[in-house]
Amino acid sequence: MAPVTIAIDGPAGAGKSTVAKRVAERLNLMYVDTGAMYRAVAYLCAKEGTNVHSEKDVEALLEQHCVSFEQGEDRTLQVVIDGVDVTSRLREPEVSALVSTVAAHPRIRQLLTEWQRAFAERHSVVMDGRDIGTVVLPHATVKVFLTAAPEERARRRQEEYRRMGYHVSLEDMVKSVIERDRKDSERSIAPLRMADDAVRIDSTDKSIETVVDEIVQLVENAHVR
């Protein structure tokens, strides 16, 4: 049987990773957080002081280091760089500030897209990101575009930062979330946009469980058809 593929795209803080992981648990599928892959590259740039605006420099950096992605426990994508597990460092504010610039480089995207497609050919998977339904898996079984109001997304991200020990005002968080969405939507290659055949779900006033139930229902309906 062909692998089942579920694509979940949307702006920062919409709830993609949380919901995608739970959908994967419910349906016993693999989960790939493609944002973690772009964050891995941004993390390496930050660590090595690489100029993130230079695609050539970022590419050269990747050639000098061994970056691997593995399915870790609890369905998280484990990122290992030169033998060191850096997964817990990927959501730090410094990485978030650089990642959209790194993700705009076509050759970096090509590299990661190839890995993502190869993975989805071998496994039934829930994949979340910005271009999964439009570019990476255009024939996905189910495509969801998950959104929420910017203030709510910023509030969620602020709470996440607070748990990591960082204090950012809600005003600054709204600004940074909107700025990242702008960069992700305006880039020329694989911009953040809803696929024509995606189902839009607004999670502003919805619990995580409600959104998970809605997506599981979409998958069940797709199988009935």
**Residue 76 binding ligand CDP, by CB under 6 A:** no
Q: In what order do the strands lie in the sheet with 142-147?
A: 30-33, 125-129, 5-9, 142-147, 199-202
Provide the residue count of the chain: 225
**Residue 18 binding ligand CDP, by CB under 6 A:** yes
| Burial (Cβ within 10 Å: 0-12, 13-18, ≥19) of residue 8 | buried
Phi, psi of 112 (to 5 degrees): -75, -35
Q: How far is the CB of 225 from ligand CDP (least distance, A)?
A: 27
Q: Which is nearer to ligand CDP, 190 or 223 (CB)?
A: 190
Q: Give the binding range for ligand CDP (CB under 6 A) out of 23-31, 62-70, 74-82, 128-136.
A: 128-136
**Nearest of 121, 39, 107, 122 to residue 76 by alpha carbon:** 39
Q: Which of 62, 129, 154, 219 binds ligand CDP (CB under 6 A)?
A: 129
Query: Using CA atoms, how far apart are residues 29 and 126, in angstroms rounded to an integer?
Result: 7
**Residue 86 binding ligand CDP, by CB under 6 A:** no
**Residue 203 binding ligand CDP, by CB under 6 A:** yes
Q: Which of residues 133-192 bind ligand CDP (CB under 6 A)?
A: 156, 160, 180, 184
Query: Using CA atoms, how far apart are residues 80 and 151, in angstroms rounded to an integer?
Result: 33
Q: How far is the CB of 210 from ligand CDP (least distance, A)?
A: 7
User: Using an 8 Å Cβ cutoff, are 94 and 67 in contact?
Assistant: no
Q: Give the binding range for ligand CDP (CB under 6 A) out of 48-56, 81-89, 137-145, 199-207.
A: 199-207
**Residue 131 binding ligand CDP, by CB under 6 A:** yes
- Which residues, including other chains, have CB under 8 Å from residue 14's CB and lie 6 or more apart? 146, 147, 148, 153, 203
User: Using an 8 Å Cβ cutoff, are 121 and 3 in contact?
Assistant: yes
| β-strand partners of 78 | 70
**Residue 13 binding ligand CDP, by CB under 6 A:** yes
Binding track over 21-60 against ligand CDP, x by CB under 6 A: -------------xx--xx---------------------
User: Using an 8 Å Cβ cutoff, are 211 and 15 in contact?
Assistant: yes
Q: How far is the CB of 224 from ligand CDP (least distance, A)?
A: 26
**Residue 15 binding ligand CDP, by CB under 6 A:** yes
DSSP string, 200-214: EEE-TT--HHHHHHH
**Residue 99 binding ligand CDP, by CB under 6 A:** yes
Residues that bind ligand CDP in the complex, under the rule CB under 6 A: 10, 12-18, 34-35, 38-39, 99-100, 103, 129-132, 156, 160, 180, 184, 203, 206-208, 211
